[in-house]
């Protein structure tokens, strides 16, 4: 089974293009019906400011889903349309948004991990499709899914993968990565699993990283990324 990430967002025995024009046109129509707001559009048309009586509403300049989240949602909807007759699963929540996760569940996509777990990885087979969320997933979980021979739709955010690249580099240099984030968050755990490299890397996260907060402020990461300055 191929482990290469291809442009369609899938990794598996067979390359499947999820982003064909007809599929994406149908996806966009469905996504807009679920997440588009006439009220928000009205505020935007008014320049981001609207007043009703003595109440003024100002819309944040950066409002809505980021590119990585939009891509993850699009690929999940596309997977449901392309793999119509196959079972679909997801590793945890695609993002931390109850409404989005409700819509994903309504597509018949079942959760493999977390508090809303509906199925076990051990129950998967070669005909099943598994979606990796925008946060990514731990290497051990990823390997278990690959071992089951499943079709994988990888929606991991590009910014998250950039962090993985950095911690792997630090691991190759026997450096310690300081992961400043919630210890049990999916993205933190996914990054931690890559910080050991071939066994020569190290990492600190959660409570163990508290003593490094001042140092991390000198290395600000982009939004949603975990700061990983080098430690010798």
Same-domain check for residues 146 and 109: yes
Same-domain check for residues 98 and 206: no
Domain enclosing residue 218, as ranges: 159-231
Of 89, 121, 156, the residue that ends a domain is 156
Asked if 157 and 134 count as a contact pair (C-beta separation under 8 A), the reply is yes
- For 90, the enclosing helix (H) or strand (E) is strand 88-90
Of 156, 180, 197, the residue that ends a domain is 156
Selected catalytic residue, list 41, 70, 99, 187: 187
Q: What spatial distance separates the first Cα and last Cα of the chain, rounded to whole Å?
A: 37
Query: What rounded mean pLDDT belongs to the chain?
Result: 81
| 179: in domain | yes
Residue 205's pLDDT is 62
The pLDDT of residue 142 is above 60: yes
Q: How many H helices and E strands in the chain?
A: 8, 10
Same-domain check for residues 27 and 113: yes
Of 156, 173, 202, the residue that ends a domain is 156
**Catalytic annotation present for 93:** no
- The model scores a pTM over 0.85: no
Same-domain check for residues 84 and 145: yes
Residue 203's pLDDT is 75
Residue 140's pLDDT is 93
Name the percent of the chain lying above pLDDT 70. Answer: 81
The pLDDT of residue 7 is above 50: no
Same-domain check for residues 105 and 131: yes
As for how many domains the chain has, the answer is: 2
| 110: in domain | yes
d(CA 157, CA 132): 10
Residue 10's pLDDT is 54
153 three-state secondary structure: strand
Same-domain check for residues 97 and 151: yes
């Amino acid at each position: 089974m191929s482990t290469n990430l291809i442009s369609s967002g899938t990794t598996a025995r067979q390359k499947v293009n999820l982003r064909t024009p007809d599929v994406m046109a149908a996806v966009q129509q469905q996504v807009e019906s679920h997440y588009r707001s006439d009220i928000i559009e009205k505020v935007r048309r008014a320049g981001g400011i609207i007043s009703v009586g003595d109440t003024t509403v100002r819309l944040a300049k950066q409002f809505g889903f980021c590119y990585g989240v939009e891509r993850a949602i699009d690929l999940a909807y596309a997977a449901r349309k392309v793999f119509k007759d196959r079972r679909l699963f997801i590793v945890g929540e695609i993002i931390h948004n109850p409404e989005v996760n409700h819509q994903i569940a309504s597509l018949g996509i079942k959760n493999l991990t977390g508090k809303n777990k509906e199925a076990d990885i051990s129950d998967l087979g070669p005909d099943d499709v598994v979606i990796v969320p925008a946060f990514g997933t731990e290497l051990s979980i990823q390997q278990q899914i690959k071992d089951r021979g499943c079709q994988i739709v990888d929606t991991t955010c590009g910014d998250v993968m950039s962090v993985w690249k950095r911690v792997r580099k630090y691991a190759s240099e026997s450096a310690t990565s300081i992961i400043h984030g919630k210890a049990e968050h999916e993205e933190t755990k996914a990054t931690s699993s890559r910080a050991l490299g071939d066994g020569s890397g190290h990492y600190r996260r959660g409570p163990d990283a508290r003593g490094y907060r001042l140092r991390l402020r000198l290395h600000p990461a982009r939004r949603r990324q975990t700061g990983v300055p080098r430690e010798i």
